[in-house]
Amino acid sequence: MKRVIKFTLNGEETECYVQDNLTMLDFLRKDLHLTGTKRGCEEGECGACTILLDGKPVTSCMMLAAEADGHDIVTIEGIMKDGQLHPVQKEFIDKWALQCGFCTPGMVLSAVALLNENPDPTEYEIRDAIAGNLCRCTGYAKIVEAISSAAEVIRKER
C-alpha cells in the first residue's frame, strides 16, 4: 500500500507517495537520493542513520517513512545555512574530529540537537548525547572536543 505524506524536509514543504513498509532510511537514501544518511546496522544500534525528527535525533532505520507525515525532518544535507557550514561541521573539520567519516553525519546531527537544547553542555552531557552514535575510528576524543568548541562558537554568536 502507498500513501501520501506531507512533511517538512530540510526546511522545505514536501509531499510524497511512500510505501507503508518503507523505512525512513530507505526513503531518504533510495527515493530521495539523500545518501548522507548512512546505513550501518539497520537495527537502531550504530546511529549512522541519525536524522532530526522535530529537532530530536532519531535513527531513521527504526522509523517508517509514513511516520514523518506532519513532522519536521532534518538530514545532514539540511544543516548548512545560506551556503555556510554549521559551527558543528566547521569544528569537526578544524579539530580533525573524523576519520572514515561514516559515523560523521549522524554524529553531527546528534551534536546539533544537543546544542540547540543546551548551548553550554558539560563533557558528560556531550558524551551522553553521542552515546548512541558509534565510532570505531576516533575514540571520540576529538569529536567531544569539536562539539565543545562548537558550543563556544554558538554561544559567542548569540
Partner 1 sequence: MAMTSKEYYKEIEKVYKKPEDYELAGKGNAYVRIDAEAKVTGRAIYTDDVDLPGMYYCKLVRSPYAHAKIKGIDFTEAWKVPGVKGVLTGKDFPEGHNLGNPEAFKELADKEPLCRDEVRMYGDEVAAVCATSEEAADEAARVVKVDYEVLPAVLDAFEAMKEDAPAVHYAGTNNISMFTTMQGGDPDKAFAEADYTDKYYYQTQQMVHCALEPHGATAKYENGEWTIWTTTQGAYVSRYWIAWGLGVSESAVRVIKPAMGGGFGGKLDVFAHELCPAKFAQMTGHPCKCILKRDEVFLGTRTRHPIAFEIETAFTKEGKLLAKRCKHVLDGGAYGGSGIAANALSLICATFPYKVENIDMTARRPYTNKPAAGAMRGYSACQVHFAHDVHMDEAADALGIDPLKLRQINAITPYYTGPTGLQFTTCAFNETLEKVAEAIHWDDRDKQPEGTGIGIAGSGFMSGTGFPVLVTPHYCSASTMVRLNREGYATVFTGANDIGQGCDTVMTMIVAEELGLRMDEVKCVQADTTLTPWDAGSFGSRVTFLAGNSTRRAVGDAKLKLLTHWAGEWDCKPEDITMKDHRVFVKGDPEKNISFNEACYGYEEKNFGRCVAGVGSFAHEGDKDIYVKNRGNYAPAYSFSSSGAKVKIDLETGDINVQDFVFAHDCGRPLNIRAVEGQIEGSVLLGLGFTCFEKCQYDKNGKHLNPTFRDYRFPTALDMPHITSIICGNPDPDGPMGAKEAGEGSTAPVGPAIANAIARATGIKFHSLPIDPENIWRALKQKKETGVNHYGDEGLAEKFASMPDVKPMRPNVK
Strand partners, 4: 17
Q: Tell whether residue 77 is a contact of partner 1 (CB under 8 A).
A: yes
- Sheet strand arrangement including 12-19: 12-19, 2-9, 72-74, 50-53, 56-59
- Looking at 52-60, 64-72, 99-107, 113-121, which segment touches partner 1 (CB under 8 A)? 99-107
Q: Which is nearer to partner 1, 70 or 139 (CB)?
A: 139
Q: Tell whether residue 76 is a contact of partner 1 (CB under 8 A).
A: yes
Task: Name the grid cell of 74.
Answer: 532534518
For residues 69-89, one letter each, b for 16 or more C-beta atoms within 10 angstroms of the residue's C-beta and e for the rest, the string is eeeebbbbbbbeeeeeebbbb
Q: Tell whether residue 141 is a contact of partner 1 (CB under 8 A).
A: yes
Binding footprint of partner 1 on the chain (CB under 8 A):
33-43, 45-46, 48, 75-77, 80, 85, 89, 92-96, 98-105, 108, 126-128, 130-144
